[in-house]
Amino acid sequence: MPLVFAGTANHAPGITSRREAATPAQREVFFSAYAELRARLERARLDALVVVSSEHFTNFFFDNAPAFCIGLAEAYDGPSEDESFLRIAKTTVPGAADLARHLARAASAEIDLAHSQELLLDHGIMVPLHLLVPQMRLPIVPIIVNCLMPPLPPLARCYDLGCALRRAMDAREERIGLLAAGGLSHWPGTPESGRLNLEFDRGFLHDFLANNRQRLIRHSDEEISTSAGPGGHEIRAWIVASGATEGLIGEALCFEPIPAYAVTGCVATIAVV
Amino acid sequence: MSLYHVQKLLFHLNNVPSVRRRFDAEREALLAEYRLSDEERRAVTHADVGKLHLMGVHPLLLAPFAGRVGLRWPDYLAALRRAREAAGGG
């Protein structure tokens, strides 16, 4: 079986670290959407989950900043953040190493992918895993996108990576899921933290659900920085998911502004089978 | 100015426990191993996050550093705002 599940969601640390800071109504909408995504993921009976997230100075720095890096390890430790802060227990998540090697090899025909046998998982991957596969037993293939240290990979290149991954996944026997985590507009670590750009978020989500490649990749980096903040560059993870589900229409499970989490709560899924 | 080296130091402080221990135990010796200007060394030594913000240190390096040195989140944000205002940036 090829790709059988695709989902996208926020990964802001506030989702777990200050869960109660959102209003009860916001929590109901947002966590219900995450629960629905989890139910669909479980129904897909996955053998492995490819998780696309962004770099946050956890694994890479300005001395060595790959555009895309795929994990080839048998296991991954996380979260890198203090347990007392993120409120997710330190654990070891199994890696789908054989699948990862296949994806790296196959996708490399089209995209230059860095690879690593040791990646730490930060909130970018651990927050969604905590909400979707809390037992942390589903083997994963992490893919880290440089959304942080310019020059960043062009949006079109992120879409192409998704297309290449899809072809590589479809050649496999396993039931594979794809989860892209990050965004949308946010200003992490700055005095503007908590600011949201609903117009940007709504527009991007609209283009994402329609899988409108032309509109998804039209944003310049300057425009993203201005309109969606430094964290807005994490739309790259979503665009990888769009490439992997080219031609398919998505479904929004949630669009809820939650300033306490510093993001608009966005959860979506694309029916791929 | 050597923004790269200031950020490298913060990256190590945030991610490498042994560097963190040395920051507490022998700060001067640790900082001497990084190519910092006097102004940068002072800003890191005194955890002057407002100054480091104005120097252009990335917020995702600065915010965890602030946490490590015991600065509460509202105080961190206030320090950044004060520094911007003092610099005329509003």
ipTM of the complex: 0.93
User: What pLDDT was estimated at residue A273?
Assistant: 85
Domain count, chain B: 1
Answer whether 0.90 is exceeded by the pTM: yes
The amino acid that residue A8 corresponds to is: T
Phi, psi of B6 (to 5 degrees): -65, -45
Residue spans of the domains in chain A: they are 3-270
Strand A250-258 relative to strand A263-270, pairing: antiparallel
User: What pLDDT was estimated at residue A1?
Assistant: 63
pLDDT tens per residue across span A146-191 = 999 999 999 999 999 999 999 999 999 999 999 999 999 999 999 9
pLDDT(B1) > 90: no
Q: What is the mean pLDDT of the segment spanning A117-122?
A: 98
SS3 content of chain B, % helix, strand, coil (to 5): 75, 0, 25
User: What pLDDT was estimated at residue B90?
Assistant: 56
Best of B13, B14, B15 to substitute, by most chain A Cβ atoms within 10 angstroms, is: B15
Q: CB of A55 within 8 A of CB of A145?
A: yes
Determine the number of helices (DSSP H) and then strands (DSSP E) in chain B: 7, 0
Instruction: Using CB atoms, pick whichever of B14, B59, B84 lies closest to residue A230.
Output: B59
Strand A3-9 relative to strand A176-181, pairing: parallel
**Cα end-to-end span (Å), chain A:** 10
Classified as helix, coil or strand, A46 is: coil
Q: Is B34 on the interface with A (CB under 8 A)?
A: no
Nearest-CA distance A176 → chain B (Å): 32
Nearest CA in chain A to B10: A57
CATH number, position B14: 1.10.700.10
pLDDT tens per residue across span B16-72 = 999 999 999 999 999 999 999 999 999 999 999 999 999 999 999 999 999 989 999
How far is CA A118 from each of CA A96, A141, B61, rounded to the nearest angstrom?
Answer: 13, 12, 21
Q: What is the mean pLDDT of the segment spanning A185-210?
A: 96
User: What pLDDT was estimated at residue A122?
Assistant: 98
User: What pLDDT was estimated at residue A78?
Assistant: 97
Q: CB of B69 within 8 A of CB of B52?
A: no
Domain assignment of residue B76, given as a range: 3-86
pLDDT(B89) > 80: no
Residue written as token pair 């949308």: A184
User: What pLDDT was estimated at residue B18?
Assistant: 97
Nearest-angstrom CA–CA distance, A265 and A261: 8
CATH classification code of A3-270: 3.40.830.10
Q: Is B56 on the interface with A (CB under 8 A)?
A: no
